[in-house]
């Protein structure tokens, strides 16, 4: 079917299709969700298990190992990691990319449920959830008030939290910081001992007396009658009067006889600070599939209402993900608008006609709106990757229309009328337009099949480019010829239009420049075609030089961030008190807030650890960018070196990943520890890394109670009962609850504060035997003061140690540090038998990205070759077109080197795009030359004439593409700075491929033609 002929014969039909695309596109755009990243299904599930008071060794033995043993049998499991801390363990199960996440989650739940019978009874219910980048807080809210600690927590939990949950599409709200009220039952050891009572016995009596028990139901003829006992504790007196025991008579021993009941607070797990002052944080999560921007805006409106309703409470918010989304979306939209404007200006100057410019420019809104229709069908959202695809496509979308309109313009210059020029001009370049479009589709199509997380990120990007190109192809072959036939006007350079008259001086000057450029190019092409071998030698030399240049480029997964936010962490020695950590937090916050560049700080204190989120003021109000300020703060924190300060990028996903990390695993803990320390000392000397850290920590002080085998049997003490009693003495037991004003509080039973230290009171502590009599602890056990690991890491059921660091912005990147690590492991510290080293986090992603990108690029080249071979019905001619790819890589490498950019994920995306773009110019040149050859013109003359006729569209398309990419390469604000490597890659490759294509491709084609001729002669 001749689409150009159809569009000229039925213009109303074509106009209706355009109107339909525009209307449906606008409707589809309004329905698309807005997110920061594409919707990703990461096959990773975490299990959080809490065992209060347990040391990391016990957590590993009693909790981590039994669960790991069960999980290891699940099919598709790729990696199993565990981090055992004091009182808790986090187990992360990572599955292969083809595993269905819902299946994996259900398997995890089943296995954990099966493992429960092997776990301690005191464990809290395991929390199992998917690791989903979209399931992160969209907004963090700070609350400050003069209310009492317990009252403030209840107010936040029961009032503010409930109001926020009621906001449309809010999924959940978590509270961080503060302490909930508890009812403390504090027992006196001496009073218990005088009455031969144990702490465990008291706890059991309180738990038994504080629960409502349904007694059952009697069915009658007319109605049923239910019976239940009401035993809930509703006053402190009810708790004090709980009977604990009878002393061989009818006089009960009540709780008040052995202890006291007071109001207390939960033990400190985390404290929150807003600009150094105590606060409560509410973390707001959206429902799955909801629009992040809309939900965040609705929550902020609710906060304004709450502030008016509760003026005594100060509301602030930070870490607003909707701001990041809006900044990124606006940045890409801004790039699209500027790219469109620059592209239209390029077309106007080359064609010198406003009508031609409008006809060509119509491809942009049509293609962009049409893309939204296909994106809606594909289930995509408006996010960084889809908008980035559209910003890259700005130059591409107009390319086909430029080629068609320029050729129609050329035919009109021959004296043809508008309809005939539109028909002949479109027909002449149809094959070239199809070839160039399908070549780019062949590059971006394979991206949809890349595995893993990278594939999920790039799939919307690649397919969005394909959607836009398909619509632009329809525009070029139908709308452009139809508009040219009926609205293109007659070619009359002597009577320019009104706008042309205003721009006559620059347009005529540019036209004269074009003519001189064309004549100069034809002359130099005539010379170069006489010496094709010399031209190819120069091109080969340039390409080889660029390969050596590429070795000097730094490579990393994600480029250095300049988002105006970062994190500072500290860790005091194990065993440090919360008060000491709070004091350090106050000092550091004061230091940070004294800097004019700091806008706010929000931090957490957890026992001996501090985590401070720092948000800088607008980039317009500070002289230093984020990496520079981080380096400055790193030096300012040197006096606190004892607390291991680390200044690192803010991790929005919350996985704690750093730029460079690897894991050392093995079965011998002592050997792993000693070897890891040696490796860490070597890693610290790599200048390209900052703030290196190792997961090993100095031992936390602990006091071990070791049962005496014979004595414990003789005295009739059950070891499990011994442990239960000691746990109740120190940690306390919370098996009963107290209800007040419809709120529920734990009742914690334990010893008085000065009687909880078993090490100091070892000889005074008693434990019950199987008959209920108290036996001195020192009779049946011995106490040993020692140290235990502060944290234990495991990977794939083996002990592991992780070494991590951030890359120096002025260094040679993660790629170099990876190669340097390999050198260390090979030459300096060869791996002992039984020990393995594997990359993790961003370093692992960088390794897999390189492999996946290489596969994508390889498939792209193969598919381009197959497309061209099919269109030209030749296996040899496509070779002359594909030669341009290494020429494009040359410019990309030079561009990255000159601008100091790294070979990161965005540069890799740009390289894939470049593979498709580079072939466009070659196709235009070879296609025209081949047509001339078919009319009997010799190869050299055909190439020279093809150069003369195709120079203008080649320059137009290339400069239009460069203009469209310029905003991306410049990076107009903080949000776009990390994507500049992509723009630099494309622009550098386009410049080199365009210049070299004009000379190198004719030289290659001459040899290809000779080869075809010699093969034809042999057949004859």
- Per-residue pLDDT of 950-962, as tens digits, reads 888 888 888 888 8
- Separation of alpha carbons 314 and 75, rounded Å: 51
CATH number of 564-649: 3.30.70.1430
Check: CB of residue 329 under 8 Å from CB of residue 323. Answer: no
β-bridge partners, 689: 807
Q: Is the dihedral of CA 667, 670, 675, 681 positive or negative?
A: positive
Give the tens place of pLDDT for each residue, 531-554. Answer: 889 988 998 998 898 888 888 888
Check: CB of residue 1000 under 8 Å from CB of residue 536. Answer: yes
Query: pLDDT band at 1015, cuts 50/70/90?
Result: confident
Q: Which of 368, 343, 367, 369 has its CA nearest to residue 357?
A: 343
Domain ranges of the chain: 1-31+352-488, 41-132, 509-561+843-1019, 564-649
- Separation of alpha carbons 542 and 886, rounded Å: 10
**What DSSP string describes 909-952?**
HHHHHHHHHHHHHHHHHHHHHHHHHHTT--HHHHHHHHHHHHHH
Superfamily classification of domain 1-31+352-488? Multidrug efflux transporter AcrB transmembrane domain (1.20.1640.10)
Query: pLDDT band at 67, cuts 50/70/90?
Result: very high
Query: What is the DSSP-derived secondary structure letter of residue 903?
Result: B
| The pLDDT value given to residue 276 | 85
Kindly report the number of other CB atoms within 10 A of residue 247's CB atom.
11
The SS3 call for residue 522 is: helix
Domain 1-31+352-488 and domain 564-649 have a common topology: no
Residue position matching structure tokens 């980039």? 619
pLDDT mean over 473-501 = 69
Task: Tell me the whole-structure pTM to 2 decimals.
Answer: 0.77
β-bridge partners, 35: none
Helix 480-487, helix 418-444: angle, nearest 10: 160
Give the tens place of pLDDT for each residue, 707-748. Answer: 887 888 888 888 888 888 888 999 888 888 888 888 888 889
Residue position matching structure tokens 């001459």? 1006
β-bridge partners, 218: 225
Q: Which of 724, 740, 739, 576 has its CA nearest to residue 642?
A: 576
- Separation of alpha carbons 493 and 498, rounded Å: 13
- Separation of alpha carbons 64 and 90, rounded Å: 8
Check: CB of residue 405 under 8 Å from CB of residue 356. Answer: yes
- Separation of alpha carbons 236 and 240, rounded Å: 6
Check: CB of residue 863 under 8 Å from CB of residue 442. Answer: yes
| The pLDDT value given to residue 188 | 92
CA dihedral angle for residue 476, residue 479, residue 480, residue 485, rounded to 10 degrees: 150
- Separation of alpha carbons 321 and 613, rounded Å: 14
pLDDT of 444 over the 50 cut:
yes
CATH number of 41-132: 3.30.70.1430
The residue length of the chain stands at 1020
Check: CB of residue 527 under 8 Å from CB of residue 949. Answer: no
Three-class SS string for 748-772?
EEEECHHHCCCCCCCCCCEEECCCC
Give the tens place of pLDDT for each residue, 372-397. Answer: 999 988 888 888 788 878 877 776 77
Q: Does domain 509-561+843-1019 have CATH number 1.20.1640.10?
A: yes
Query: pLDDT band at 494, cuts 50/70/90?
Result: very low
Angle 348-969-319 (CA atoms, 0-180°, nearest 5)?
A: 125
Q: Which residues of 145-175 are buried (b: 16+ CB within 10 A; e: fewer)?
A: beeeebebbbbbbeebbeebeebebbeebeb
User: By 3-state DSSP, what share of the chain in percent is helix, strand and coil, each rounded to 5?
Assistant: 55, 20, 25
- Separation of alpha carbons 531 and 9, rounded Å: 48
């Amino acid at each position: 079917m001749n689409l150009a002929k159809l569009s000229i014969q039925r213009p109303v039909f074509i106009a209706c299709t355009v109107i339909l695309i525009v209307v449906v596109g606008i409707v589809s755009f309004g329905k698309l969700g807005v997110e920061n990243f594409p919707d990703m299904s990461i096959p990773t599930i975490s299990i959080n298990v809490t065992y209060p008071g347990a040391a990391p060794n016990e957590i590993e033995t009693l909790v981590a190992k039994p669960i790991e043993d069960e999980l290891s049998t699940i099919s598709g499991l790729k990696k199993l990691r565990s981090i055992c801390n004091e009182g808790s363990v986090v187990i992360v199960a990572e599955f292969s990319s083809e595993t269905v996440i819902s299946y994996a989650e259900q398997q995890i739940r089943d296995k954990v449920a099966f493992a429960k019978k092997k776990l301690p009874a005191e464990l809290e219910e395991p929390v199992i959830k998917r690791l989903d980048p979209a399931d992160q807080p969209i907004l963090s809210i700070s609350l400050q008030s003069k209310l009492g600690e317990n009252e403030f927590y209840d107010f936040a939990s029961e009032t503010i939290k409930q109001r926020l949950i009621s906001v449309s599409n809010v999924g959940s709200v978590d509270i961080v910081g503060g302490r909930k009220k508890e009812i403390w039952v504090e027992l006196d050891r001496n009073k218990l001992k005088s009455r031969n009572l144990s702490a465990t016995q008291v706890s059991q009596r309180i738990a038994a007396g504080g629960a409502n028990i349904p007694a059952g139901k009697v069915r009658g003829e007319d109605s049923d009658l239910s019976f239940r006992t009401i035993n809930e504790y509703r006053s402190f007196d009810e708790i004090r009067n709980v009977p604990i025991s009878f002393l061989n008579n009818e006089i009960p021993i009540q709780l008040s006889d052995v202890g006291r009941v007071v109001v207390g607070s939960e033990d400190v797990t985390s404290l929150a600070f807003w600009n150094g002052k105590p606060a409560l944080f509410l973390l707001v999560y959206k429902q799955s599939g909801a629009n992040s921007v809309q939900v965040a805006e609705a929550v902020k409106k609710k906060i304004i209402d709450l502030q008016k309703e509760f003026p005594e409470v100060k509301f602030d918010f930070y870490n607003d993900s909707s701001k990041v989304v809006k900044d990124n979306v606006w940045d890409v939209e801004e790039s699209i608008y500027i790219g469109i404007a620059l592209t239209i200006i390029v077309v106007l100057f080359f064609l010198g006609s406003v009508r031609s410019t409008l006809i060509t420019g119509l491809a942009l809104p049509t293609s962009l709106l049409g893309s939204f229709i296909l994106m809606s069908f594909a289930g995509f959202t408006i996010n960084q990757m889809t908008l980035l695809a559209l910003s890259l496509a700005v130059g591409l979308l107009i390319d086909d229309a430029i080629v068609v309109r320029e050729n129609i313009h050329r035919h009109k210059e021959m004296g043809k009328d508008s309809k005939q020029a539109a028909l002949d001009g479109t027909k002449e370049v149809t094959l070239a337009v199809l070839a160039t479009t399908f070549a780019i589709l062949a590059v971006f199509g394979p991206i949809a099949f890349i595995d893993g997380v990278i594939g999920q990120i790039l799939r919307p990007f690649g397919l969005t480019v394909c959607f836009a190109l398909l619509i632009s192809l329809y525009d070029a072959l139908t709308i452009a010829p139809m508009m040219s036939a009926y609205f293109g006007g007659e070619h009359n350079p002597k009577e320019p239009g009104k706008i042309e008259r205003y721009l006559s001086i620059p347009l005529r000057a540019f036209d004269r420049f074009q003519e001189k450029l064309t004549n100069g190019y034809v002359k130099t092409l005539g010379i170069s075609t006489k010496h094709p071998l010399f031209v190819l030698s120069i091109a080969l030399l340039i390409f080889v030089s660029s390969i050596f240049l590429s070795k000097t480029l730094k490579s990393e997964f994600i480029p250095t961030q300049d988002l105006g936010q970062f994190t500072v962490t500290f860790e005091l020695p194990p065993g440090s008190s919360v008060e000491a950590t709070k004091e350090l937090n106050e000092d550091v916050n004061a230091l940070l807030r004294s800097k004019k560049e700091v806008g706010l700080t929000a931090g957490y204190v957890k026992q001996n650890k501090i985590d401070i989120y720092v948000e800088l003021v607008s980039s317009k109000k500070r002289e230093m960018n984020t990496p520079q300020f981080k380096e400055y703060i790193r030096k300012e924190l040197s006096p606190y070196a004892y607390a291991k300060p680390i200044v690192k990028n803010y991790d929005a996903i919350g996985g704690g990943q750093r730029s460079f990390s690897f894991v050392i695993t093995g079965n011998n803990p002592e050997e792993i520890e000693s070897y890891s320390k040696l490796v860490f000392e070597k890693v610290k000397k790599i200048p390209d890394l900052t703030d290196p850290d190792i997961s090993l920590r100095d031992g936390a002080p602990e006091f071990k109670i070791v049962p005496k085998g014979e004595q414990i049997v003789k005295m009739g003490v059950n070891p499990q009962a011994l442990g239960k009693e000691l746990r109740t003495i120190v940690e306390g037991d919370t098996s009963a609850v107290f209800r007040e004003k419809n709120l529920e509080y734990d009742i914690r039973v334990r010893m008085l504060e000065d009687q909880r230290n078993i090490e100091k009171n070892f000889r005074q502590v008693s434990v019950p035997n199987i008959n209920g009599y108290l036996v001195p602890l020192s009779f049946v056990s011995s106490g040993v003061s020692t140290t235990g690991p502060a944290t234990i890491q495991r990977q794939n059921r083996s002990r592991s140690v992780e070494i991590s660091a951030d890359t120096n912005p002025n260094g040679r990147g993660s790629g170099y540090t990876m190669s340097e690590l390999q050198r260390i492991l090979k030459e300096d510290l060869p791996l002992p038998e039984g020990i393995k080293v594997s990359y993790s986090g961003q370093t692992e992603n960088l390794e897999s990205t390189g492999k996946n990108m290489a596969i994508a690029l390889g498939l792209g080249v193969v598919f381009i070759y197959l497309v061209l071979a099919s269109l030209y019905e030749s296996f040899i001619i496509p070779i002359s077109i594909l030669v341009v790819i290494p020429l494009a890589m040359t410019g990309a490498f030079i561009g990255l080197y000159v601008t100091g950019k790294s070979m990161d994920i965005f540069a890799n995306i740009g390289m894939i795009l470049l593979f498709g773009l580079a072939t466009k110019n070659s196709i235009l040149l070879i296609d025209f030359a081949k047509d001339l050859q078919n009319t009997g013109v010799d190869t050299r003359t055909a190439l020279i004439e093809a150069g003369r006729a195709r120079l203008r569209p080649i320059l137009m398309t290339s400069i239009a593409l460069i203009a469209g990419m310029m905003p991306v390469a410049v990076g107009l604000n903080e949000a776009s700075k990390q994507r500049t490597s992509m723009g630099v890659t494309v622009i550098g490759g386009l410049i080199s491929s365009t210049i070299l294509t004009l000379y190198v491709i004719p030289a290659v084609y001459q040899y290809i033609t000779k080869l075809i001729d010699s093969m034809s002669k042999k057949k004859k």
